Structure 1
């Protein structure tokens, strides 16, 4: 029986790859996509998600969510230098033919969690604002989910926005601290493992060689991401599959090895704002729940699985 899935995205390029991976995985039933600001604005993330679903030939509700952080004004610039002016590698040709579903993301998450109590997997691959708002409205939400999988953080490695912080956590550190401290059955999939999941250029070229509209779109979009990696992370042979790995864990948790940790998020005006750190102090640790932090990944096996399904 397929797992019930919600994807919470800030639809840039690796979000788009994650959506395609989820749609093409029979183990998952995509109940809907919720969107937030992050790589681009929430309005653009919603538009891009609708476009992706149309190109994939599937129907699922896309519900718009937060347009700014939970407890502060927007302070992280959008990542257009990484994902393109439109968020999908400058491949936007026309508006989607469908519209976003009514309502907002937090209410959609709560409604589906209540409907499928104990059976819903939520994969969050953007800032965690929608989840923080949902927690305010439904404090029992952590008990309703089967699993929350978060692409975010850098517990044992350096960040990718600052030396200390990963982009999704940095974009809304207060929301991240709230969600990580709420007691969800939670797997944190951060740069500790995602930077090892490199998609080679020759595999992207194969998508274009298929001669399909979808293959060309996905290849042209990912080429922009590849070029960004060449410019900003020279020496890395490919682009990291950050968000797809989080989806991969919803399919097969054995792609990674985890260790239970108590994780604090630096908030406020800290010079290390957005840092995700393991709490060693026993007194501080008592106030935090344990979460499963991915520390090792079978990158080759995951990559083969991803490539067998994404296009």
Structure 2
């Protein structure tokens, strides 16, 4: 089985932690690095979360720091709702030992560029936070838009409302200008947005399976996911369970048949009215081969089944 080279661009909150475990567990994936982003927490914290979770899962994958704030600001403050959903530390307030490894000295944006040149079409990048790092990489080296095999991102909403405004999804809303640069570039993109991720739910019935494993990783992952499920219930986001947004992006990057897509030239609105809305670009509607595929339906039963198999097998051994 041919393995695919993957970079995860994570702002590690709870669903990013689940996405990381999914990528590690899938035999088709060679996870070559993680680029940390701001988003669910500050950059320092999300980088630390990546290191801690990798060690919990027995993995030695390099972690790089991306940019610490959006392309249009000079700092970043964590939103209160992010703390309520993901915990003050981004991973459900669970306590993990201090990481033994350090973040790499190389800049995360440069790492993306070097990997694009090294692996070209064999490289998949899965951003599950803001698109600031990817846009910065395009700025530094526009050639990478012709090299990278696929970008499968968690972000946006085409057929449903947003989750931070009527039209905007959180990741895109963090840096709509960067997102628009990525969407309107030649990069081959699959957008896994709220249209499909809100349909993929996890409940405490699933997390109990991890708890029952009795392993350190099984209990930690059950604890952090239960925090997320409780937050969804308490905040009235969904009382049936939590959406596993970011893992679905990883799943689709590996197996696109999990979703049905619509090929559409996309843009992101950057003016104040409708800020961060992801929508078709009417000036490019007649382009014969749009660079973006938007996921609009998902086989949630098959996806959740594969996700649970992957994670349970991984967590059983750590």
SS in structure 2 of the partner of residue 140 of structure 1? helix
Cα distance change of structure 1 residues 302 and 115 upon mapping to structure 2, 3 Å threshold? same
Deviating more after overlay: 235-244 vs 252-261: 235-244
CA distance in structure 1 between the partners assigned to 2:285 and 2:262 by the alignment: 15
Residues 159, 191 of structure 1: 8 Å contact kept: yes
CA distance in structure 1 between the partners assigned to 2:8 and 2:238 by the alignment: 31
Residues 182, 289 of structure 1: 8 Å contact kept: no
SS in structure 2 of the partner of residue 292 of structure 1? strand
**Is residue 200 from structure 1 mapped to residue 181 from structure 2 by the alignment?**
no
The equivalent of 2:115 in structure 1 is 112
User: 1:107-140: per-residue Cα shift (whole Å, max 9, x none)?
Assistant: 0001111111211011110000100110011101
Cα distance change of structure 1 residues 236 and 261 upon mapping to structure 2, 3 Å threshold? farther
**Is residue 42 from structure 1 mapped to residue 24 from structure 2 by the alignment?**
no
The equivalent of 1:69 in structure 2 is 70
1:249 CA displacement: 1.1
Residue in structure 2 matching 1:277, options 276, 279, 288: 279
CA distance in structure 2 between the partners assigned to 1:19 and 1:171 by the alignment: 21
**Is residue 231 from structure 1 mapped to residue 234 from structure 2 by the alignment?**
yes
Residues 187, 292 of structure 1: 8 Å contact kept: yes
1:21 CA displacement: 0.6
CA distance in structure 2 between the partners assigned to 1:235 and 1:69 by the alignment: 29
The equivalent of 1:213 in structure 2 is 216
1:236 CA displacement: 3.4
The equivalent of 1:153 in structure 2 is 156
Residues 76, 171 of structure 1: 8 Å contact kept: no
The equivalent of 1:51 in structure 2 is 52
The equivalent of 1:33 in structure 2 is 34
Residues 76, 170 of structure 1: 8 Å contact kept: no
1:233 CA displacement: 2.7
The equivalent of 2:132 in structure 1 is 129
The equivalent of 2:169 in structure 1 is 166
**Is residue 190 from structure 1 mapped to residue 193 from structure 2 by the alignment?**
yes
CA distance in structure 2 between the partners assigned to 1:183 and 1:291 by the alignment: 9
Q: Which segments of 5 or more consecutive residues in structure 2 lack a partner in the other structure? A: none
1:71 CA displacement: 2.0
SS in structure 2 of the partner of residue 159 of structure 1? coil
TM-align CA RMSD:
1.6
Residue in structure 1 matching 2:248, options 245, 255, 260: 245
SS in structure 2 of the partner of residue 145 of structure 1? coil
User: 1:154-192: per-residue Cα shift (whole Å, max 9, x none)?
Assistant: 111001111110000001111000111111111000000
**TM norm structure 1:** 0.95
Residues 155, 190 of structure 1: 8 Å contact kept: yes
Residues 42, 78 of structure 2: 8 Å contact kept: no
